[in-house]
Structure 1
Amino acid sequence: MLTRLKEKNLLIERLKAFNSGFRQNVAVLGKPFIGKTFLIRDLLKDIYSENIAYVYVEARHEPLGLFAHRFIGSLLYRYLVLKNVKPQKDDLVLLIKDSRRRLPKTAEAIEKIERNINKKNYDAAYELLLDLPEIFYSDSGIRCAVILEEFDQLSEYKVSSPFSALGKKIMAQRNTFYIVTSSSPRQARFILSEKLQLLFGNFETVNLEEFNFSDSREFILSKLEGFDISDQYTSLIINFTDGHPLYLRVICEKVRSLLDAQKKTRVTAAILEAALDEALFNPSGELYQHFINIVNTHCANKNGVDVLSMLTLISQHKGRMKQLSQSLAGSAKSIKSAVSDMQAAGLVEKIGVFNKIDDSAFRFWLKSVYYKRRMDFTADPLHTRKVFMHNLKKASLDFMRSCKDDLYEKTVDLFKAFRDDLVDLENKKYILPRFSEVSTRVIGENGPYIISHSKGKNWICQIREREVTDKHVADFLKDAKASKFRFHRKILIVTEGMDDNAKLMAKSSGVWIWNLKTFNLLLDLYGKYKLVRL
């Protein structure tokens, strides 16, 4: 089964370095269900092999006493395991009793924590809880790794300054290694840079993202081992899920179950459609339940703005503020505030003038399942399912047709969609102009090229589908110079990477490089199907 080997190896390296006296704390950030917990739990056996005790605890919306209970229990349990003592698994009182003789200072500190919680002196209890790993080290001589899942939720506890207190403890503790995770990357980065600003350099950030195309394909093939699936249907699943591990797993398991039930060995369009029907359209389906939970958690109306209608518009690529203001009730200020709330929740991403739902499966579910049911007046479940299946088939066929499109024609179509739009790409702002003419032409000896004109300014673009070398860049620059036009933008679309010399030459010559990720982002912003390369 595919694992996050690169990320896991980095954590193991940091773990070994900590055991050798060098500490580099790590923050693992990523969307919900992207694989953070899987990565951490895969790491735990390596922590054990390094003879390090660990606290593994998740911050939740709950009383501080429950968090402290799990924190203390996790530490004592792992210590007794290291000492080859069979510990009690669900009785903290017995864990403390079993550990008292070996860890007298730790046991005394635990009693103080409990007394402070009972007196509702939560600040003192919290600070002493964070001191516990160092007190434990003074008792045992064993270093400790503290793994705080969803650390941004520490603010839910009745503590005056949870992050300031945490920061001070981390700065002072030399025998405790911290790994924190968060499913709210935007909020977590704010905490790390603003509330833990003195520590930001002491936290290495690991960003967990969706699987790339190659890893997604490997995941699908491993889940469907023993069955035959074409590259066409593999690409379709990848496009639909955008490589999200949860969605890949659910869909592949549904496909496998249907194949087993029908005693078939080959994935067909009908099998894939039935799997998506069960997962997405059926109210008891795992993805339906996942998405309805998102709606119930984050999408309450605010200041007169129908948030679900707003998200549906964004899912239909009508996410510019002007489009939202024209279609929704409420003031421009209240709509902007609602969009900001969705950004904070991680549901909407702002890219220049565009508001975008990055989750492609959630986007499809919103417009093809939830919105249709919300607006349905027939009370006929067969009708709503028929509409869903029609939309699903159409989306599948449209994507498969797009896979056969000539890449230059696909790019010309993209350029023609630009409307003087401001976009943020690679931490820079760009204007994508409204072109009066976009065409493919042969210039020089190394074409074809896409030539575009807008208000006296000209762009030249070339697509390279194999790894780009410095010779390719030099040829591109030579042909651009030989043209009768003066080009204000020179763009290379690179789908298979560039060597270092090519990157340096392109950068020094002002060539704008669009890798596959950038190109697909632009296609997605303008409502066009991504280019999936297996």
Structure 2
Amino acid sequence: MAFLMREAVQERLQKRIDDVVGGFRQNVGIVGPIGVGKSTLLREFFQSISRDPRLLPVCIRGEAIDGRQLIEQWLGAVLCSVLLGRTLNIPSSLSALMQEADAIIPSTVHAAKHIQKLFQQEKNSTAIRELFGLSLILARETGKKVILLIDEFQELEKLPVPDPFSMLGRQMMPAKEILYVVTSSAKDRAIEIFREKLSLLFGNFEVLEIAPFGFRELEQHLAVRMPTHRWSPGLMRFLFHMTDGEPLYLDLILQRIEGMEVREIPQPVYPSVLIDAFCQELFDCRGRIALLFEQRLERCVGLSKKGGAFLRAVLSLSQGRHKIIPIAANVGETVAETQRILKRLVQEGFVIKSGSFYHLPDVLFRFWLKEVFLRRQGFFLPEDRSLRKTLFDRLNSDLEICERMCVDDVGPRVEKLLKEFRNDTVEFCQKKYPCPQFSEISVKNTPQSKVAILAKGSRGRWLFQVCPDWVSESDMEILVQEAKGFRKIKRKILIALSGIDQNAKLVAQECKMQLWDLRLLNTFMDYYDLPKIIITKKKTHDTQQKTDGSFVGTVAQALPALELR
């Protein structure tokens, strides 16, 4: 499983450009939560290729008001592509655009007019099929490769046909002159579309997942963004803990801090300043993050006439209910109806389903729902001072916890996680991980692994070896010997918090030892509503500073191309 830094995403896209020009097409899907910069990435990519004489970039925004606007935008984006290098005055109406482009691409303009006519005649299926084929007409008329960028492509479901993605797949297959680069904030829905509708003989999608900043990237970001502000390790851990490294939230919080004081010489950031910035953004009437969350709830309620049930389902998740039966009980609906509600929330990107778990992936949104929205709903007086004080105290308490965090407390925190297992199943990177309930858990200190945790349950004895440092091949051999000292072990799991050497991985595979990195461990921590583990200093026994994804935050994770070959 390859992990790439954000700069490498642009390099990967450029490679796909070179490939399609050379006659090989590999479409790309970019998925990730709202706010991590997918749209910005797409715009920057559009700008970077717009002056390449071999290419015609076409950029379509899926988040249109309705299908009609989406169709008009699609037609306009295709026609605009030939005018980019010719004029700065791009016509603002579709009719004027057709008139301007007719002298350059008459066949494409004629096809666009025919598509309009088909829609007027309500021949929607034929019209959508020809709309999807319009880029191929453009490519063949101009002799150039068309790079079709679709932002939030799952929104193509708005188009007035029963199954637009199957129709798109049939049009994509022969169109080797078209490179598709799409984004989606609804990860599960996007993966489902790639697998079931767009799994093609030629041109399968390479799926890249963009995640928020990791702790190291947060450090680097703060150093560049705020050179006159000095952040203590505890404050940085708190900032990371609250925002989970989401670039949008970080930007808004840092703007608040920058607006409070102008500095010319380096000075420390005070805890009260950071907490006040969070209070302003999450609680005050002009808080931009609070406004974003309120808009998110409005979209949630607007999904159905039974919007209240959808909202209660989201609130249930924020309160720590992750399984269908307790969620249904809190929502006040049958299990079957609650499953339908949750399925829709998953499709719309509000919720993710992981094995037997339903989960709100946005850490700060969960915090706001529980500590601001629900408290306001349960308060009977028209004043906010006591509620704001409660929020301030909660933030201060979390800050104190973050300041006390250290690598030495990892063992007890993993032990606490294991005590939460209730015969669950968690899915991560298309793999399912059983989480059996353990009746007895004991922690032992060992020379090499630092911490060994022996857990007993109905599925036998499980051994967890926790290593804060980089694991080399020689370290791995010692760990294997340590594991042999424990009798009748059903499953062995090595938790390598600072990464692992490739040869050490091979040794682990030979010994049938499962590997967890920091990212996977924190996925478990998050699903069980426990604070994520933050490693502030990377220790290594290797002369080369290697990375296996544990420390990567703003990443593109290359999921296997959905190949039939």
> Equivalent residue for 1:515?
517
1:57 is displaced (CA, Å) by 1.2
Of the candidates 436, 439, 451, which is equivalent to residue 440 of structure 2?
Answer: 436
Is the helix fraction higher in 1 or 2? 1
Instruction: Map 1:136-155 onto structure 2 (within 5 A).
Output: 136-155=138-157
Distance 1:122 1:378 in 2: 54
1:431 is aligned with what amino acid?
Answer: C
> Equivalent residue for 1:296?
298
Distance 1:445 1:118, change over 3 A: closer
1:229 is aligned with what amino acid?
Answer: W
Distance 1:261 1:277 in 2: 22
1:314 is displaced (CA, Å) by 2.4
> Equivalent residue for 2:540?
none
Of the candidates 332, 354, 358, which is equivalent to residue 357 of structure 2?
Answer: 354
1:347 is aligned with what amino acid?
Answer: F
Distance 1:200 1:150, change over 3 A: farther
Distance 1:47 1:63, change over 3 A: same
Are the aligned partners of 2:234 and 2:404 in contact in 1 as well (CA < 8 Å)?
Answer: no
1:104 is aligned with what amino acid?
Answer: P
Tell me, yes or no, if structure 1 residue 387 matches structure 2 residue 401. no
Instruction: Report SS of the residue matched to 1:147.
Output: strand
1:130 is aligned with what amino acid?
Answer: F
Distance 1:347 1:65 in 2: 25
Instruction: Report SS of the residue matched to 1:260.
Output: coil
Of the candidates 501, 504, 515, which is equivalent to residue 503 of structure 2?
Answer: 501
Using structure 2 for the length normalisation, give the TM-score: 0.85
Distance 1:267 1:416 in 2: 37
Over aligned residues, Cα RMSD in angstroms? 2.9
Distance 2:473 2:201 in 1: 41
Distance 1:296 1:508, change over 3 A: same
Distance 1:445 1:40 in 2: 46
> Equivalent residue for 1:188?
190
Number of aligned residues:
530
Distance 1:325 1:148, change over 3 A: closer
Tell me, yes or no, if structure 1 residue 396 matches structure 2 residue 415. no
> Equivalent residue for 1:490?
492
> Equivalent residue for 1:374?
377
Instruction: Report SS of the residue matched to 1:102.
Output: coil
> Equivalent residue for 1:247?
249
Q: Deviations over 1:333-354 (max 9, x none)?
A: 3333333333333333333443
Instruction: Report SS of the residue matched to 2:173.
Output: helix
Instruction: Report SS of the residue matched to 1:406.
Output: helix
2:483 is aligned with what amino acid?
Answer: A
Distance 1:184 1:528, change over 3 A: closer
Deviates more, 1:44-53 or 1:360-369: 44-53
Tell me, yes or no, if structure 1 residue 39 matches structure 2 residue 41. yes
Tell me, yes or no, if structure 1 residue 270 matches structure 2 residue 272. yes
Distance 2:448 2:216 in 1: 33
> Equivalent residue for 1:223?
225
Instruction: Map 1:88-237 onto structure 2 (within 5 A).
Output: 88-198=90-200, 202-237=204-239
Distance 2:400 2:460 in 1: 37
Instruction: Report SS of the residue matched to 1:488.
Output: strand
2:351 is aligned with what amino acid?
Answer: V
1:302 is displaced (CA, Å) by 7.7
Q: Select the structure of larger CA radius of gyration.
A: 1
1:348 is aligned with what amino acid?
Answer: V
Instruction: Report SS of the residue matched to 2:200.
Output: helix
Are the aligned partners of 1:62 and 1:157 in contact in 2 as well (CA < 8 Å)?
Answer: no
1:7 is aligned with what amino acid?
Answer: V
Distance 1:377 1:175, change over 3 A: same
Using structure 1 for the length normalisation, give the TM-score: 0.90
Deviates more, 1:46-55 or 1:314-323: 314-323
In structure 1, runs of 5+ residues without a counterpart are none
Distance 1:208 1:199, change over 3 A: farther
Are the aligned partners of 2:493 and 2:513 in contact in 1 as well (CA < 8 Å)?
Answer: yes
Instruction: Report SS of the residue matched to 2:234.
Output: helix
Instruction: Report SS of the residue matched to 1:207.
Output: strand
Instruction: Report SS of the residue matched to 2:229.
Output: coil
Instruction: Report SS of the residue matched to 2:438.
Output: coil
> Equivalent residue for 1:415?
418
Are the aligned partners of 2:61 and 2:152 in contact in 1 as well (CA < 8 Å)?
Answer: yes
2:166 is aligned with what amino acid?
Answer: S
Instruction: Report SS of the residue matched to 2:81.
Output: helix
Tell me, yes or no, if structure 1 residue 80 matches structure 2 residue 83. yes
Distance 1:437 1:76, change over 3 A: closer
1:527 is displaced (CA, Å) by 3.0
Q: Deviations over 1:175-198 (max 9, x none)?
A: 222112222122222222222333
Are the aligned partners of 1:30 and 1:207 in contact in 2 as well (CA < 8 Å)?
Answer: yes
Distance 2:194 2:458 in 1: 45
Distance 1:479 1:176, change over 3 A: closer
1:430 is aligned with what amino acid?
Answer: P
Deviates more, 1:179-188 or 1:500-509: 179-188
Q: Deviations over 1:284-338 (max 9, x none)?
A: 3111111111111114688797444443332232323444355453333333333
Distance 1:230 1:254, change over 3 A: same
Instruction: Report SS of the residue matched to 2:183.
Output: strand
1:457 is displaced (CA, Å) by 3.5
Tell me, yes or no, if structure 1 residue 453 matches structure 2 residue 453. no
Tell me, yes or no, if structure 1 residue 285 matches structure 2 residue 284. no
1:470 is aligned with what amino acid?
Answer: E
Are the aligned partners of 1:315 and 1:357 in contact in 2 as well (CA < 8 Å)?
Answer: yes
1:86 is displaced (CA, Å) by 4.5
Are the aligned partners of 2:30 and 2:208 in contact in 1 as well (CA < 8 Å)?
Answer: yes
Distance 1:122 1:289, change over 3 A: same
Are the aligned partners of 1:12 and 1:46 in contact in 2 as well (CA < 8 Å)?
Answer: no
> Equivalent residue for 1:70?
73
1:10 is displaced (CA, Å) by 0.6
> Equivalent residue for 1:16?
18
> Equivalent residue for 1:7?
9
Distance 1:134 1:457 in 2: 59
1:265 is displaced (CA, Å) by 4.1
Q: Deviations over 1:138-161 (max 9, x none)?
A: 433232211122222222122354
Are the aligned partners of 1:192 and 1:199 in contact in 2 as well (CA < 8 Å)?
Answer: no
Q: Relative contact order (C-alpha < 8 Å, sep 6+): which is higher?
A: 2
Instruction: Report SS of the residue matched to 1:436.
Output: strand
Identity of aligned residues (%): 25
Distance 1:521 1:159 in 2: 38
Distance 1:200 1:142 in 2: 19
In structure 2, runs of 5+ residues without a counterpart are 537-565
Distance 1:38 1:511 in 2: 40
Distance 1:270 1:245 in 2: 22
Distance 1:157 1:36, change over 3 A: same
